[in-house]
Amino acid sequence: MVIRVLLVADGPDAAATAVSNTVEINTTDPRWPAWLVDAITFQAREGARRLRDRLIAEQAIAADGSVSLPAVGPAAQAGR
C-alpha cells in the first residue's frame, strides 16, 4: 500500500504552498498497522517542517528580490 501525505498552507498572498511525501507499507506483515502510524507521524512532522521552511523563504523574498535576514533567521536556526 502506498499512502501520500499532502500538507497545504495558504501564504499571506492567498497563494497555496504544498509539500508531499509518500509512504509505502507492506500489508502482508502483521505489524503493518503500527508501522503505518509511525510512518505517517514521521512524514507529517517532516512535511510540516519543510512547509514551514518554504513559507518562511517565500515571505523572506521581497518584491524587489532582496531577502530579509530576520525572516530567514528562524529557518536557519531550525536547520541546526
Q: Are 59 and 69 within 8 A, CB to CB?
A: no
The per-residue pLDDT for range 38-73, each reduced to its tens digit, is 888 888 888 888 888 877 777 766 555 555 555 555
**76 vs 49: which has the higher pLDDT:** 49
- Please, which residues have CB within 8 angstroms of residue 1's CB and are 6 or more apart in sequence? 24, 25, 27
Give residue-wise pLDDT tens across range 27-39.
Answer: 899 998 898 888 8
**Confidence at residue 30, expressed as pLDDT on a 0 to 100 scale:** 92
| Cα–Cα distance, 8 to 47 (Å, whole number) | 10
Distance, in Å, from the CA atom of 45 to the CA atom of 51, rounded to the nearest integer, reads 10
